[in-house]
Amino acid sequence: MDDDLSIHIAMRQIFKTWATEWKLDTYSNALQALERMAESPPNAVLMDVSMPEITGIECTRKVKKMMPDLPVIMFTARADTETFIASIIAGATGYLVKPTASLEIIAAVKKALEGLPALCPETEKTIIKWLQSFGENVSEWGLTAREQEILIHLCRNHSDKEIGKILKISSGTVHMHLHSVYKKLGVRDRNEAKKKFIGLL
């Protein structure tokens, strides 16, 4: 999915040359793509981040709700840490930064189909850097292991009830932990907590 027609043309040529056995469908509109995917589920998705109507990150979230096991690879010009982390939290299993060599794109799709993460070298550096800073922040914030778990689920837009069901605790206990998380992070609500966790605040 990409709203740039030149990318559609380039991808058709890449798949025609290097993956003749694969069928490629391209969409410039995320809502249209979601509708078509519901009718005819693909094996993998290449998703741009910046698209009209809804972003690629939001579209990824919707795709993963429809088809949890479907691998989604972000294919974007955006190389910032915040977009990468938000994409992974939304459910992406890969992240490629444009421009990417043809064979690297094909290799990434193959990895995703095998259930492996599909990350370009630039993105691998990004995740290592973010994990290092996350470790420092967690230590500074003083979050417990349970609070870290809940914060991760919060970033995946799970409700208190959903978090409780996943972690096998009551919604009231989740709410209590979230109150503690907000206090430790110095934030007022879920949105501010997500932003601080990802690095936007």
Which domains are delineated in the chain? 5-121 (3.40.50.2300), 129-198 (1.10.10.10)
pLDDT-based confidence at residue 200 (cuts at 50, 70, 90): low
Mean pLDDT calculated for residue range 37-56? 86
Share of the chain above pLDDT 90, in %: 23
Q: Flag whether pLDDT at 201 surpasses 60.
A: no
**pLDDT, position 1:** 63
| Per-residue pLDDT tens over the stretch 55-86 | 889 899 899 988 999 999 999 888 888 788 88
Q: What does DSSP say about strands 72-76 and 45-47: parallel, antiparallel, or unpaired?
A: parallel
Which token pair is 179?
A: 């109150």
Residue 197 has a pLDDT of 78
Q: Which residues pair with 76 in a beta bridge?
A: 97
Say if residue 155's pLDDT is above 80: no
User: Would you state the pLDDT for residue 14?
Assistant: 86
Q: How confident is the model at residue 92 (pLDDT cuts 50, 70, 90)?
A: very high
Inform me whether the pLDDT recorded for 2 exceeds 80.
Answer: no
- Candidates 114, 68, 110; CA nearest to 92 is 68
Which of 81 and 106 is assigned the larger pLDDT? 106
- Give pLDDT, residue 154: 85
Quote the pLDDT of residue 182: 94
Asked if pLDDT for residue 188 goes beyond 80, the answer is yes
Whether the link from the prior residue into 71 is cis, omega within 30° of 0, is no
| pLDDT average, residue stretch 22-44 | 85
- pLDDT at residue 173, as a whole number: 94
Return the pLDDT at 180. Answer: 94
Count Cβ atoms below 10 Å from residue 48 Cβ, excluding itself: 21
Are 8 and 28 in contact, with CB atoms under 8 Å apart?
A: yes
3-state secondary structure of 52: coil
Strand blocks (E) in the chain: 45-47, 72-76, 94-97, 118-119
The residue-averaged pLDDT of 185-197 equals 87
